[in-house]
Each structure stands twice: as C-alpha cells, then as structure tokens.
Amino acid sequence: MDSDSKTEAIKRAKVLMVGAGGIGCELLKTLALSGFQDIHIIDMDTIEVSNLNRQFLFRQSHVGQSKAKVARDAVLRFMPQICITPYHANVKDPEFNVDFFKKFNVILNGLDNLDARRHVNRLCLAAEVPLVESGTTGFLGQQVTVHIKGRTECYECQPKPTPKTYPVCTITSTPLKFVHCIVWAKDLLFAKLFGDRNQENDLFVHTGDGSDSGKPTDDIFERGLDEVPVQYGRKIYDHVFGYNIEVALANEETWKNRRRPRPIFLGDVLPEKLILQNGNLEKNCLTEDLSLSAMSSLGLNNPQEIWSLAENSRLFLEALRLFIERRGKDIGSLTFDKDDQLAVEFVTAAANIRASSFGIPLHSLFDAKGIAGNIVHAVATTNAIIAGLIVIEAIKVLEADFQNCRMTYCLEHPCQKMLLMPIEPFEANKSCYVCSETPLLLEVNTQTSTLRDFVDKIVKNKLGMSFPLIMQGATLIFEGGDDLEEDVAANYALNLDKVLTALPAPVTSGSMLTVEDLQQELSCHINIKHREEFDEEKEPDRMVLLGWTTRGKESQGVSNGDNTTAAIPAAPEAINKSEEVEVAAEISRTKRKLSEMSETTEDQETFQILPDTDANNSMGPQEVEDNDYDDDLMVLDGNPEASKKRRLQ
C-alpha cells in the first residue's frame, strides 16, 4: 500500500482504545499525531495524584476527574480537528456489547488486569475485530501482541497459571516474611472488620490439636452499641496481636524449631493518654486529593519512612476510627482496594504490628502498598515505546498487511545493541476453549461440592464469565444476570447451595455441562470427572480444571489456589539478572534466525515463547502476593526471557 492509501486508511479508521492510564495517555497522543481522526476511549478510573508522574495528559487540577474525559480534552487542545469520544465506564458494562465492538476497525488494549483483558478478547473474537494487546512491567518484559481471529492465537490461547499459594496455617499462625503479614492484614483482618462478616474466615489461632481455643464464645469482632471507636479498636488490637499470639504460644510443638512470637497488647505500646487522644484528634484527616487519611490526622507525612511500633499502633487505631465514624455505611461491604488510601494505611499498620510480634522487619507504607497491591511502578519511557509499537501494528492491521504483523518484546537489558525483539504471531492453540471450543475436564467431588463452588471458583474465577448460563443436557440449572425476574433469580439461587449430585439434573461423573456467557457470546463444554481426594495445600479449591494445554505440553490444571481462606496467592521468584542477560542473548540470536526461516509451523514453534506469568502475577523488585493491580502496572501475559530460556533447554 502506498503512502497515500496508508494515510487514507488511517483517516477512515474507527479505533477503540480500552484504558487511558500509563500506556493509554501515550497511545492517545501517538494516535492523534499519526493522523487518526475517530478515536473512542473507555476507562472507568479517575485521576489520582500518584498518576501524575507518568500520565502526562493529567495535571494536579484534574485529580478526581475522569481519565477518559480529561485525556480527550488534553489532546484536543493540540489536535482540535479530530474526533475523540470518551466513555467514563467499565468495558464490561452491557452497553459495550458485540454490536458496539463491530463498529470499530481495530481495538487497542491498555488494560491492567486479567479479567478485563479476557472480556475484551472474547468480544473481539465474537465481533471478528482485530485486537492489539499490550503490557509493561517497569523496564522488563514489555510486549505488543496482535490477535486476529482465524489468523493468530487469541489472548487466551495460552493458559494463565494460577498463583503459588501459602497454606492458611502459615498466614494465621507462623508467618516468616512481611508479605505473610500483609496477606493476613488484607485478606483476613480487613475482610473480617469491614467486609462480609458472615464470610468464611480464619482469624482464630488453632492449637494444633484441631480445637479452636483461640475462638471466644462471643464474636469479638462485633462492635457493641455503646462501644466507642477507641474502645472497640483496643479490643480488636489486644485480641489479634495479644490474645491470639498467647494462644499460639501454648502449642510448644509449633515453636520447637521456630522463633517464638511476642504477644503485643496496646497498653504495653502506648500510654493511656495517647490511646484516648487518638480518637479525638482535630487535625485535618484529608489528603491533597481529598482522600480520607489517618496519616494526615496523625501528622505522618512521609509514606517512605518506616514507622515505629507505637506509630503503627496509633495509625491502626486512627484508621479504624475513621472507618467507623466517616465510612460507617460502607462497613460490611468493603473489599481491599490499593487505591483506597485509608484501607492501605490500615493494612500497613496491621501488617507492621504483626511483623513486630514475629520478629519480621517493618516496612514503609510505600513498600507495603506495593506488596498489597502487586505494584511494579511504571516507567514513562517504556510506556511511550509500547504505545508507538501499538500504533505500528494497528496500521499494519488497517492495511490488511497481516503477514508482517509482529509480536514485539522489549528487553530490560539491550543485547548486541538490540532492545526490541519482534517475532511472528503464533497460530491459534487448537486446545483453547475460547477460540477453538475444545471441551475442558473438571475433576471434582460431585457429592460434596456445591453449584455455588462451581460458579464462583470455576465459571467466574477461572473462566472469567460475568453472566453465566449453565446447562446440564437440556436442563437449565443456573443463570446469572441483573435483568432476571426476581422469582426466576430466586429459583436459580435455590440451586446454588445444593451439591452437584442433588441438582434438578444431577451432575455426576461423566456428565457434560455447557457454560455460556451471552454478553461475551462465549460457550464452552466441561466434562465432569468425580474425584474423592484432593491435596489440601496444592488443591485448596478441591477442583482441578484440565484440558487447556500449552503447545507441546500435556494437559495441565488451571485451578488450584484462589480461596484465600484455604491458601494465599504468592509471588513468582524474580529472575536472576545474569539469567536475563543470558536469555536476552539467546533471544537476540533467535530474532535473526527467525528472519532467515521459512514460514512453517515447525519453525515457528521451535522458537516459540510461551507465556509464563499471569496478567496478575508480574515481576517486581519485591515479592508480590496478590491479584490486584495498580494503574502503575500494565501487565503482560508472560516473561519472554524466562520462557525462552526454558524452551531453549
């Protein structure tokens, strides 16, 4: 295609951007300067102070406003002739359905979580619209991939491995690392105090003989009607950091080869006067961006400072007070959000107090937030590089120049003067349940597992369906959605707590379930195999999903390990720097070899880089234990360097 035709194709194109954060700001700017005239942006987030160091379209005055709308206004100031349509909304909202996606020539992703990526991938497949996916993790492992139905693999052709898990006893009784304390504070204590208290949780220390001697007769977490916040805070503090530790110490066997923890009671840390004052501070408790903050009311201004046990104790009490007095209506429905300043402060304080008890070094709020939110802080120049590569691939798609489309990885350490590694896209995985409709196999105890277990752990969590419809043969046994009639929804809800064999159409070994998501226009079949025994540590869900295979490998499970009451997500180990350089060299040589090869399937697979890490399990300088991501992070599907090394071996 000549330059005039290329220019015309760009001007005629209708482009949808999903995400207006780190990559999104750079991408919108690059699209506008490249001549694109009709651009639509979807982003549900608002601007935060922490975004301003790299998301250059935003300023201090924009804090709290819609990212999509402010990004549009900023670009129109220097490119007023183009049309930019912003949507301050969630891409999973019903209005963004298959018909909506069909309006566009290409979709460009700048997302930061696996769930939304899956959703967009499925809509693009259903609408038959090309998708350009992207991701960055600091300097390392950035990528741009092109997904075209019928020509290349889809985003989900390679299974995303489940996180490594920690046994619940490590989290509740014998933490060894600060990350264990973070997970305890976030997934157990925060959830118990501010989330659904009826949800299964384990905040009581077991004695080792199976008894719950640490569990009092009355619910210690229930706040009395006449109980003021400071009294309630002291009760919680003394119970979880003092009494529970004393109970744990009663089991001598546990501590034979471990360092014994130290019970901490509030009266031993803070004088009575300071405890009472903590609940009556008159200082401003709002940050610059008007977020509620216990730090502000206590005068703790430096999030990178490591606070003492006394300061963390005051922060714990103050954060709890502010939740009760200022956000009382939200208590009972809250979940931890790394963008919630008060939640981060509470979790940091609780984790540090627990760490002090177990002789683990304390951490700053900055570091604690990075661990709790799984944050790898972004690099603006990396985002700019990736945005440029996205636009290059988008133009190839618009020109129908599919044979020259490339997946491009950006290496942290340039090798032989090469920073970027382009390789040909892979063919679709024939065992992918999303684009190839291959049946899956679920090993499950059909006599003890309920339909709710199946819906929550497999259909929603593993398969990423939002509004599932589940059929056993011709019988509809469950349907989810906001548009159901009340009596219909209530009828399906009755099935949720029934074991699989007790459903109206019993699910037994040999049954086949059909699971659909009408919004995503996705359907898959799951064969059921009854299994009696499961490894409690490796398979805490008591369900294993099989049949979703990586090229050249045997079937592998894609379940195991998301129930935080039974096991806690853990982090992949960081790649050794010397290994990165070694693999980078191999990749560089591979790049040159690829250009010399014929376009056979065998040649492509010889140098295939298999995605290795979950979009919610990126590499970082610290250990990362959770599935939630900060806007700092645009996570990729896999680490090309580590995967390449394994493949070359």
Catalytic residues, which ones?
Answer: 169
Q: How far apart are CA 335 and CA 338, in angstroms?
A: 10
Using CA atoms, how far residue 181 sits from 280, 309, 360, in Å, is 29, 14, 9
- Token pair, residue 416, equals 């032989």
Q: Are 619 and 141 in contact (CB under 8 A)?
A: yes
State the DSSP H helix or E strand holding residue 394, giving kind and residue range, or none if neither. helix 380-398
Q: How far apart are CA 238 and CA 230, in angstroms?
A: 12
End-to-end CA distance of the chain: 41
Place of tokens 């999030």: 303
**Largest Cα–Cα separation, the chain:** 80
- With b for 16 or more beta-carbon neighbours within 10 A and e for fewer, the 272-287 pattern comes to eeebeebbebeeebee
- φ/ψ of 253, rounded to 5, equals -60, -35
- Residue by residue, DSSP assigns 336-367 as --TT-HHHHHHHHHHHHHHHHHTTPPP--HHH
Q: How far apart are CA 303 and CA 369, in angstroms?
A: 10
Query: Residue 335: is it exposed, middle or buried by C-beta count within 10 angstroms (0-12/13-18/19+)?
Result: middle
Q: How far apart are CA 556 and CA 544, in angstroms?
A: 9
Interacting residues of 527 by C-beta distance below 8 A, sequence separation 6+? 439, 440, 441, 442, 510, 511, 512, 547
User: What is the DSSP secondary structure assignment for residue 292, as one 8-state letter?
Assistant: B
Q: Are 42 and 17 in contact (CB under 8 A)?
A: yes
Closest CA to 523 of 434, 609, 597: 434
- Sign for the CA dihedral angle at 153, 391, 376, 112 comes to negative
In 79-190, which ranges are continuous DSSP H helix?
A: 98-101, 114-127, 168-172, 178-183
In 399-480, which ranges are continuous DSSP H helix?
A: 451-453
Place of tokens 């034979």: 256
- Token pair, residue 158, equals 């390679």
**Amino acid occupying residue 592:** R
Sheet holding 38-42, edge to edge: 83-87, 38-42, 14-18, 106-109, 131-137, 140-147, 407-415, 418-423
Closest CA to 4 of 496, 406, 399: 399
Q: How far apart are CA 437 and CA 429, in angstroms?
A: 10
Closest CA to 518 of 484, 480, 472: 480
Q: Are 437 and 526 in contact (CB under 8 A)?
A: no
